[in-house]
Amino acid sequence: MVKEIVKSHDVVFSNRPKKTYGSRYLAYGCKDLGFAPHGEYWKQIKKISVVELLNHQRVQSFQFVREEEVEVVIDKIRNVCLKGESINLTETLALVSNNIISRCVLSQKSEEDDDGKCNKFWSSSKRLMVIFTSFCFGDMFPYLGWLDMITGLIPSLKALSREIDTFLAKIIEEH
């Protein structure tokens, strides 16, 4: 059955969901690797991503960053447990992921930020995850999409999109 699915119906099973409001505003109209529909465009951006960003050499070049950040979070969890205190694992794991990304992209940890750059990255990342997972009437019931304007979801999506674009433009300019 798997062979038949992969061989004959691969496009049907590998295609992405229809455009959601989040992906329309925050993923440039579903033009990124995660949300683009299966087809020639998706194949080209996948090829570029694999060759330029996810090749073995590039991934291995940041191995030390991942190891250091995991070691830091394990020590943090150990220390909190020895004190008998509780820890918010969701926040801790999100922070370690953010630190890894920040160090690889911005060359700084979020906690070690002096100029507000990484804190901006961290706050935008948190808002992005919250807004991507929030309930959207238009995604579930297209005829009720107008309610998303009233609830403030669409204006929030647009504002966050502009904020992230401005932030990324500054990072590109610095590089």
Degrees, nearest 5: CA angle 17-22-23: 50
Query: Quick check: pTM over 0.85?
Result: no
Look-up: residue for tokens 């989040």?
Answer: 22
Q: Distance between CA atoms of 35 and 24, rounded to whole angstroms?
A: 9
Query: What pLDDT sits at residue 65?
Result: 93
**Complete DSSP assignment for 70-107:** HHHHHHHHHHHHHHT----HHHHHHHHHHHHHHHHHTS
Q: What is the pLDDT along the chain (175 residues), one digit of tens a residue?
A: 778 777 777 667 666 666 788 888 888 888 888 888 888 998 899 899 989 888 899 889 999 999 999 999 999 999 999 999 999 998 889 888 888 988 888 777 765 445 555 577 778 888 888 888 889 898 888 889 899 999 999 999 999 999 988 988 888 888 7
**Complete DSSP assignment for 30-58:** TTSTTTSPTTHHHHHHHHHIIIIISSHHH
Domain extents in the chain: 1-55
Look-up: residue for tokens 């995604």?
Answer: 139
Query: What pLDDT sits at residue 117?
Result: 56
